[in-house]
A and B are shown apart, each in its own frame.
Chain A
Amino acid sequence: MPKNKLSDLWGTISRNQILIPVAALLLLAFFNLLADPTFFRIYLNQNANGDPVLSGNLISIIDSGSELAILALGMTLVTAASGGQDISVGAAIAISGSVLLRVLCGADSRSEEMQAPIIVAFLIACVVSMLFGAFNGALVAYFKIQPMVATLILFTAGRSIAAWINNNELPIVKDPSFGVFGNYIPGIPIPTPFLIAILCFVVTWAVMKFTTLGLYVQSVGINEKTSRLNGLNPELIKLMTYVLLGLCVAVAALIKVSRISTINYSVVAKDIEMDAILAVALGGNALSGGKFNMAASVLGAYVIQFLTTTLYKFEVNATALPAYKAVVVIILVVMSAPTVREKLTALTKKLRSSAAQNT
């Protein structure tokens, strides 16, 4: 009887798509445990300002992976509703970050004091970012352009726009209070980016709980015609997902520029769009849209960061780094492909039944 329950439980878990990122995470953790257990050491010390901070590889992972996790939230929605991906998020971060710094620094890119409160700058960056999201969303929803093609426009032009916002200068915020979003709040030893990410997850959870966003987005992603006949406005819902992704971009941009109090529009968040899409795929979500699992995407994002940190830790040769990453990614993505999952479920079932026959 207890064995039956256990196998039932196993059945539920193995059908759940969150299994994939969890398995990947465990796999990476197991590998690190074997290779070097000190990987997991966390210690408390002080930073240059004398504030307590936690450090260690695990802390680095939750710290550095946060922007990606936040982007994964929006990317999951966009993927689910429109059956395609936004490849302009990296460029959009450059724009949003540039706007943020432009407002903070005013006309003088090297001003000693901030010219506007951070919250004002952030809100303006949010608005700009959401407008660009709406631009992408409108192309996809109303003009029915393939999401990748539609967002290719901003992908190409975005960093030039970012450069133009600051007259090709690299503004620097000297006020240390701006740095807290990318580093530590004095007295709190947990990295702020992770706290911001947690806040985003909570907000997302609340939105999912207290609105019907999840149902609407999935419904539109699976069957647009049916959704329309049930009173939904598929175009508006698709547009909305792109605007929400814009909001995620603004938050990620805040963290990115706060980390080093400046921005280099040509390299900031480079290739992050691919990682964000990968996070969605690793979460076992179909890139063709439809059903989604937000938590799985977020875990997927941290898996990617876990992988990056692991590769840094083992000092993989710089030229070979992308190749290693690619190999691991291929394995993970193949594992998370629905067909492979079905095969695996069938296999475990077979093994279990044959085991049952033997006993």
Chain B
Amino acid sequence: MNIKKLFAVLSSTVLCGMMLAGCAGGAGGGTNPTNAPADPGTAETPAASVSDGLIKVGIINNDPNESGYRTANDKDLKAAFSKENGYDASFAYSLKNDEQITAAQKFIQDEVDYLLLSAADTAGWDGVLKDAQNAGVKVILFDRTIDADESLYEASIVSDMEKEGETAVNWLKDQNLDKYEVIHIQGVMGTAAQKGRSGALTEAAAADSDKWNIVAEQTAEWNAEKAQQIVQSVIDSGKTFNVIYAENDDMAKGAVAALDKANISHGVGKDVIVMGFDCNKWALEELLNQNWNYDGQCNPFQSEYIREVIDKLQKGEALDQKTIIMNEKGFDAKTITQEDVDNYGI
């Protein structure tokens, strides 16, 4: 009986594992197969150079299914570190720190030239990074920082969430409203994105409390329907507001659904200003259609920064600084173009 149960659990786990594997395989979406043989168009590249001239990189990332941001991030990396571009890249995905560390150890054994790391957790990396250093593997952090000595890695390429918030709030200040009545919809409390994007707004409201008033401040946990309920609740209680500051696009969308229901106009030149983050393609289209007013970027396209660092290191040049903060844009509905949507939408 027990054996039967055990078998059942095992077989389900295997099945489940297969499903997951299926997802990971599908994540590339066929657009950028990494280790696939070169297609006929680039077949002229001599086969011999494939093994010799390539820079070997091991990339440890979070699960691309985690979010649209991560999917875009993964796609970008796969596109950039292709054989055509002179790289031999291997990928490992996990949302768990210990699994990531195991993957890192494997990459070190495989003698990669560069280890690119987006850590699940900030702690626990010292040991493996020292191993990397001893083995001569150069480590570049992207997207997330870790609690380790700076000497253990070459560079850290990060988004500055505080800056994202500041850019957005500065844009809002530039709108020169007589009065700011803001509904502030927060992400999952305590996350870096939530803290950074909330910070600037809270600061601005505190600094000029005559003009700025936070009508409601609540977490919708990145969830569209919760955001809809929160805005609905504000509308039901009869309060007035003229700005919706949602910390991601989904929540902005949920908020807009509540506005539509109550026939409150929103967008360029309308009653309520709608602000979102992350620059999803569909969100930028909303800007293009003048339904929303602003969308702040959280840049998932780190590959060009990483390649720049690798190029410099290959040439033996010194880096100007260890921590490289990426440029992040904020889009205004009044100035956004179709080109922006195509280039920056994720």
Contacts and interface: CB of A to CB of B under 8 A. Distances in A.
A–B contact (CB under 8 angstroms): yes
Interface of A: 38, 45-50, 53, 55-57, 60, 64, 110, 139, 143-145, 149-150, 153, 156-157, 159-161, 163-164, 167-170, 172, 183-184, 256, 259-260, 262, 264-268, 270, 308-309, 312-313, 315, 318-319, 321
A259 B232 contact: no
Interface string B1-31: 1001100110011001001101100110100
B192 interface: no
Given A144-B5, A167-B29, A309-B229, A172 B282 contact: yes
A143 B230 contact: no
Contacts of A183: 257, 261
Interface in B201-245: 216-219, 221-225, 228-230, 232-233, 235-238
A164 B189 contact: no
A262 to B, nearest CB: 7
Contacts of A167: 26-27, 29
Contacts of A319: 189, 219
Given A38-B237, A45-B263, A259-B225, A170 B216 contact: no
Contact of A164 (B22, B67, B281): B22
Given A164-B65, A262-B253, A308-B229, A318 B12 contact: no
Nearest to B68: A170
Contacts of B23: 160-161, 163-164
B263 A267 contact: no
A321 B229 CA distance: 14
B257 A260 contact: yes
Contacts of B250: 264, 267
Interface string B53-86: 0000000000111111001000000000000000
Contacts of A49: 260
Contacts of A161: 19, 23
Secondary structure class of chain B's binding surface, majority of residues: helix
Contacts of B189: 318-319
Contacts of A266: 65-67, 222
Contacts of B225: 64, 256, 259-260, 268
B12 A313 contact: no
Interface in B292-339: none
A88 to B, nearest CB: 11
Contacts of B13: 153
10 contacts: A45-B262, A48-B263, A139-B12, A153-B13, A159-B65, A160-B65, A259-B254, A318-B217, A318-B219, A319-B189
B280 interface: yes
Given A156-B16, A170-B68, A260-B224, A145 B236 contact: no
B229 A110 contact: no
Contacts of A60: 229, 232-233, 236
A183 B262 CA distance: 11
B233 A313 contact: yes
B205 to A, nearest CB: 15
Nearest to B190: A319
B11 to A, nearest CB: 9
Contact of B219 (A159, A169, A321): A321
A45 B19 CA distance: 48
A168 B5 CA distance: 34
B186 interface: yes
Nearest to A144: B5
A83 B163 CA distance: 51
Interface in B34-54: none
A45 B67 CA distance: 37
Nearest to A138: B8
Contact of A168 (B65, B235, B281): B65
Contact of B29 (A168, A172, A313): A168
Given A160-B20, A161-B19, A163-B65, A47 B237 contact: no
A157 B21 CA distance: 10
Contact of A170 (B218, B223, B229, B280): B280
Contact of B228 (A150, A169, A172, A259): A259
Most buried by B among A47, A49, A256, A264: A264
A38 B225 CA distance: 24
Given A167-B29, A318-B189, A267 B236 contact: no
B218 A318 contact: yes
Given A259-B257, A318-B218, A38 B65 contact: no
A157 B19 contact: yes
A64 B229 contact: yes
Contacts of A150: 12
B36 to A, nearest CB: 17
Contacts of A156: 16
A313 B224 contact: no
Given A145-B5, A161-B19, A168-B27, A260 B254 contact: yes
A170 to B, nearest CB: 6
Contact of A153 (B12, B29, B67, B261): B12
B222 A267 contact: yes
